[in-house]
Amino acid sequence: MNNLRLSLLAFGTALALAGCGGGDSSPVAPVPATSSITGLAATGAALGGAAVMAKCATGAPISATTDAGGAFVLPINGQTFPCMLQVVKGPTTLYGLAQSANRSNVTPVTDLVVSKALGSNPAAAFTAFDSAKGAAILSKLTAAIAYVKAELQALGVSTTANDPLTFAFSVGDADDKALDQLGAKLVAANKKLDELRATAVAGNPFVAGLARGTLIGSATSIVTLAPADIDAATASTLQAIGVAGKAKCSVKFVALNYNTIGVKGEAANASAVMLVPTGTGICANPTGLVAYAKGTDVRKPHTLANPGDGETFLLAAVYAAQGYAVVATDYLGFAQSTYAYHPYLHADSEASSVIDSIRAARLAAVPVGASLSGKVMLTGYSQGGHSSMAAHRAIEKDNAAEINVVAGAHLAGPYNLSGSFKLPNAIAGYQYFVPYLVTAWQKIYGNLYASPSDAFNAPYDSYIETLLPNPTLDFTTLVTTGKLPGGPAVTPNMARDIVFKSAFISDSQTNPNNALFLAGKKNDLLGWNPVAKTLLCGGAGDPTVPPGIHQVVSKADFDSRGLTNVTSVDVDASIQFVYGTNGAAPTDPTSVAFATYYGNYHGAYEPPFCHQKAKAVFDTVN
């Protein structure tokens, strides 16, 4: 084994160890008891003086300490196999599995094998290890070993036919060198084992996993807006309604293109905009990074890397001009992304796009003049509220050591998708959002319908699967060209019934085994516990993402587990005061005022007030 500090850094520790790395002879293991687990703990060098613990199918945990060469002995006294092994040395924690007495290694490779067999983070399994978890690992162990070896080979890591969990490798042999090669690959990709572990848990390609968040080409500066430029555009709008103050910083707009993964873990790319505060004082100080996820977009070429874009400018005015750095992903399937489609409201790929945008922004920071503090705040609006919450959940579960999320503000997002399918009445914009979702999930899961005509009425069934996102049409022209129904005379229920087969909709409303409903359950964002301070924001009058179905249900779900770090705010009073008739929402559904008010509620009126609330939360932790 190579006693290189680089290898140890890659696996999470900066300690240079002797023994198994760089010595002239193999380490001598302690003399085992009559029945013992003996083994070796190593990364790209021996893990000497490390704490070793075994938790077995039955019996008390067993503890020991590795010798200088990383060898250990764990005497068996009534415990039954299998036993899950944990080795801890400083910031490095590795896992392995002992199927019987005698040799059991604990290395990054065994960690990846156990992670893949579990299909979940091994730390949680180790904490509550029992015979059922042991059986689950054993049932998938052979496939997990084959997967890890194949993925390591794809990375350019040489592997052998030997069992990585039990083979007694020695200094300088092929299995030993594979650990050094893996460590070098992680260092070269600026990654830690934690990130590759998450890739193994998902069963995704290691090559794509190591590329995640790296920049494709250079970050490209587009323009810098001075405070006066920003104030000129906000004085009569955002400043007038109290959402944004005068700009304190100039804002540099930067375009990013970065590597990420698709819905199956395959290599993909996405683009983003980075907003960098420039100037003196707070504009030059290290600052938190606001990672933003955009609302529903139907325009395939559209990018947020455009200072003239309304959503981007809102981020610039509320956050970047006040001293925050911002990164905002375009998602898979938009702008520079070559992904074949956009996986709309698919929680896992939304999370990946956001997480990898954070990584890309960190790599771009120094070249573009950004000074980041290491703190990350997550936010998003509408679809983006779903995306930001999905990213929040994923980071705290799998990437907490890498990404320090200090707050999440999830704005007007559809967190209870399965519940929304049970509604008897359609939401505003149903003709856009639900076909978008159904066709995307059909591409992902493949079981929502056998043929488009099973779900969609003619003529929509003939082109709906390739309609969204669209290379030339937007929300307005999708209707004016007749591609989707709409207009003042078409109610949401009418639009639903024009587009969809009634049997398809009624089954999703009533059948607990309906494929659309079950896909919704997979993408619901209920049943998790955020660690960071969390805000939910929306407006009670929102006709598109009704808070009673999403925000209220989400808050009640958090409350049911006694969480005290989640708050919920309703901005409806502010919207009524600013945009209503005499400070109140219009009540005559036949009036122009009613149509204007509710037609703009979700897309235009609600976002600024929720961003104001989000920034207030971020200000408490930045």
Q: What is the mean pLDDT of residues 390-416?
A: 96
Do residue 534 and residue 509 come from a single domain? no
The reported pLDDT for the residue numbered 14 is 31
pLDDT at 32 over 70: no
Return the beta strands (E) in 246-322 as ranges.
250-261, 267-278, 287-293
Do residue 314 and residue 412 come from a single domain? yes
Bridge-based pairing of strands 102-103 and 566-570 is: unpaired
Q: Which two tokens stand for residue 299?
A: 């325009």
| pLDDT per residue as tens digits for the range 167-187 | 998 767 888 899 999 999 999
How does residue 11 score in pLDDT terms, banded at 50, 70 and 90?
A: low
Which residues have a Cβ under 8 Å from the Cβ of 579 and sit 6 or more positions away? 597, 600, 605
Range of the structural domain that residue 19 is part of: 5-211
Do residue 508 and residue 607 come from a single domain? no
CATH code: domain of residue 68: 2.60.40.1120
The count of C-alpha atoms lying within 13 angstroms of the C-alpha of 491, restricted to the half-sphere facing its C-beta, is 7
Residue 224, H or E segment: strand 220-225
pLDDT at 239 over 90: yes
* Overall domain count for the chain: 3
The reported pLDDT for the residue numbered 358 is 98
Single residue among 157, 190, 211 that ends a domain in this structure: 211
The reported pLDDT for the residue numbered 22 is 35
Do residue 146 and residue 79 come from a single domain? yes
Residue 469 to residue 479: CA distance in whole angstroms: 14
The reported pLDDT for the residue numbered 200 is 94
Residue 38 to residue 40: CA distance in whole angstroms: 7
Top pLDDT among 13 and 213 is at: 213
The reported pLDDT for the residue numbered 190 is 85
Q: Tell me the average pLDDT of the chain.
A: 93
pLDDT at 10 over 60: no
DSSP label at residue 26: P
Name the nearest CA neighbour of 112 among 53, 55, 159: 159
Residue 89 to residue 48: CA distance in whole angstroms: 8
Residue 33 to residue 180: CA distance in whole angstroms: 31
CA-CA-CA-CA torsion sign (246, 537, 254, 336): negative
The reported pLDDT for the residue numbered 30 is 41
pLDDT at 1 over 90: no
Residue 114 to residue 534: CA distance in whole angstroms: 33
| pLDDT per residue as tens digits for the range 542-581 | 999 999 999 999 999 999 999 999 999 999 999 999 999 9
Do residue 127 and residue 230 come from a single domain? no
Do residue 203 and residue 241 come from a single domain? no
The reported pLDDT for the residue numbered 65 is 97
Do residue 264 and residue 284 come from a single domain? yes
Among 42-56, 304-318, 444-458, 459-473, the minimum mean pLDDT is found in 42-56
pLDDT at 147 over 50: yes
Do residue 245 and residue 293 come from a single domain? yes
Q: Which two tokens stand for residue 198?
A: 């998450």
Single residue among 499, 523, 547 that ends a domain in this structure: 523
| pLDDT per residue as tens digits for the range 407-465 | 999 999 999 999 999 999 999 999 999 999 999 999 999 999 999 999 999 999 999 99
pLDDT at 33 over 70: no
pLDDT at 27 over 50: no
CA-CA-CA-CA torsion sign (549, 555, 556, 561): positive
Give the DSSP per-residue string, 488-523.
Answer: TT--HHHHHHHHB-HHHHHHHHH-TT-HHHHHHHHH
The reported pLDDT for the residue numbered 176 is 86
How does residue 213 score in pLDDT terms, banded at 50, 70 and 90?
A: very high
pTM comes to 0.86
The percentage of the chain sitting over the pLDDT mark of 70, rounded to a whole number, equals 94
Residue 215, H or E segment: none
Do residue 316 and residue 409 come from a single domain? yes
Top pLDDT among 33 and 142 is at: 142
pLDDT at 341 over 60: yes
Residue 280 to residue 371: CA distance in whole angstroms: 12
The reported pLDDT for the residue numbered 171 is 67
Cα-based torsion angle of the residue sequence 331, 270, 320, 525 in order, rounded to the nearest 10 degrees = 40
CATH code: domain of residue 568: 3.40.50.1820
Single residue among 523, 544, 566 that ends a domain in this structure: 523
Do residue 180 and residue 192 come from a single domain? yes
| pLDDT per residue as tens digits for the range 489-511 | 999 999 999 999 999 999 999 99
The reported pLDDT for the residue numbered 23 is 34
Beta carbons of 383 and 413 less than 8 angstroms apart: yes
Do residue 44 and residue 183 come from a single domain? yes
Q: What is the mean pLDDT of residues 507-524?
A: 98
Do residue 427 and residue 404 come from a single domain? no
- Beta-carbon neighbour count of residue 46 at 10 Å? 28
Residue owning tokens 């109610």: 491
